[in-house]
Amino acid sequence: MLIAGNWKMYKRPSETADFCRALTAPDGVEVVVCPPFPSLHEAVPTGVTVFAQNVHWESEGAYTGEVSAEMLLDAGVQGSIVGHSERRQYFAETDETAWRRATHALEAGLRVIYCVGESEEEREAGETGDVLRRQLGVVEPRDGLVLAYEPVWAIGTGKTATPEIAEGAHALIKEVVGVPVLYGGSVKPENAEDLLSQPSVDGALVGGASLELESFNAICQTAARIRS
């Protein structure tokens, strides 16, 4: 069971180390934090597994604002999120460019949490399956690869997929690409047990609730109880 906290553009370096040292990783649960780039160097020495939030597809080059897998590995970072819906929405990430990033990261030795998911309009139109299959069309199973199903309509909105919706999407994703799948989309202590209890759900990519120590630890403890 993997529980990853995506901090997005929150938590400065001065806040990071104490937070990470106070995290508890229960038996049977791998706890990952994904800080913004300036906070990575504060998180790594604490002993928590640290992932970045993005990574480029080249080892080096004239790519202002980007960071390579080799740079992250040199800094002690173990993996990266790739293809998050906010990268797709705000920074023109596509299925093809996201998978290029993921492929290079995996080949370089990073682990990858690769995100897929449908918008509210696509769900209401009954297109969830088609959208997921399209997004997964570029993906192939690799060592170190974990997928995350993040329904876009449930990210930062307070809405959460029902356990049945989550299980259906996860089962489809595993049918197409046979790797572990996390659920991401307004995961909270209050709904974590119902979501993580689903047979096809292998963990969670937690957003806002990962910024508060009490709530993130509570989700990790719930995961441990379910898998014990």
Q: Which of 104, 150, 167, 170 is catalytic?
A: 150
Q: Which of 56, 84, 104, 170 is catalytic?
A: 84
Sign of the CA dihedral 203, 102, 108, 23?
Answer: negative
The dihedral over CA atoms of 21, 213, 13, 115, expressed in degrees to the nearest 10, equals: 110
- Cα-based angle 127, 132, 136 (whole degrees, multiple of 5): 150
Dihedral pair phi/psi, residue 121, rounded to 5°: -65, -40
**Rounded Cα gap, residues 14 and 20, in angstroms:** 12
Query: Is 56 noted as a catalytic residue in this protein?
Result: no
Interior/surface letters 195-205, b for 16+ CB within 10 angstroms, e for the rest:
bbebebbbbbb
Residue-wise DSSP of 142-165: -TTEEEEE--GGGSSSS----HHH
- CA of residue 42 relative to chain centroid, distance: 20
Query: Is 150 noted as a catalytic residue in this protein?
Result: yes
C-beta atoms surrounding 67 within 10 Å: 18
**Rounded Cα gap, residues 226 and 228, in angstroms:** 6
* DSSP state, residue 61: S
Active-site residue numbers?
84, 150
